[in-house]
């Protein structure tokens, strides 16, 4: 296979805003610098808070942040599949068929419409239920089938984030919290 970044049309599935940067921001930068097209399909955005009561970000503020990041990163397009709080941190509650159809056919950035050469999705080993649901939807959407009937990206990759490896099962029992 003769691989050239400039000939790639990349679709990144991001369960939440920032997963795409934390999971494959370096790849996005390299691909865009070499002339690739990059599109990001966000699945959900919702209210966020951290441990301090002073930090709060609404879906509207998050969308504004996405626009600034998209401009800075020079993305070719992005879309939010399920805006608002209804499915934020609850993508696992959407029927798998519905989530898969969004990725495969229904979104403006669906595989069938965008026809990416590369699909990048979260790794299914993430502790986050939304990441797992999106990984499973991507796996189903890229299942082998008749290539005359469905588009198949040439390359399917998975990304993980450092926090995905934060697990108690790798720690000795004396370090587990009760």
Within a domain: 172: no
What the block records as the tokens of 35 is: 């002339």
CATH of the domain at 110: 3.40.50.10320
Q: Which range of residues forms the domain containing residue 102?
A: 5-47+74-161
- The reported pTM is 0.88
How far is the C-alpha of 90 from the C-alpha of 130, rounded, in Å? 6
* Tally of domains in the chain: 1
Positions in the chain short of pLDDT 70: 1, 48-56, 164-178
Distance of CA 109 to the CA centre of its chain: 12
Quote the CA–CA distance of 168 and 140 in Å, as a whole number: 29
Interval 58-103: pLDDT, tens: 778 888 999 999 999 999 999 999 987 889 889 999 999 999 999 9
| The predicted structure's pLDDT at residue 124 | 92
Q: Which pLDDT value is given to residue 173?
A: 62
Residue 121 covered by a domain: yes
pLDDT of 51 reads: 42
């Amino acid at each position: 296979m003769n691989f050239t970044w400039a000939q790639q049309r990349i679709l990144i599935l991001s369960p939440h805003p920032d997963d795409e940067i934390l999971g494959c921001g370096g790849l996005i930068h390299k691909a865009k610098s070499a002339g690739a097209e990059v599109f990001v399909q966000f699945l959900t955005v919702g209210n966020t808070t951290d441990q301090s009561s002073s930090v709060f970000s609404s879906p509207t503020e998050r969308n504004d942040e996405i626009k600034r990041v998209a401009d800075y990163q020079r993305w070719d397009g992005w879309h939010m599949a399920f805006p608002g709080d209804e499915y934020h941190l609850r993508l696992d509650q959407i029927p798998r068929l519905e989530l898969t159809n969004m990725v495969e056919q229904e979104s403006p950035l669906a595989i069938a419409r965008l026809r990416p050469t590369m699909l990048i999705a979260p790794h299914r080993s993430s502790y986050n239920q939304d990441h797992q649901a999106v990984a499973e939807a991507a796996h189903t959407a890229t299942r082998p089938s008749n290539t005359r009937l469905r588009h198949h990206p040439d390359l399917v990759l998975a990304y993980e984030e450092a926090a995905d490896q934060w697990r108690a099962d790798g720690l000795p029992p004396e370090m587990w919290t009760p």
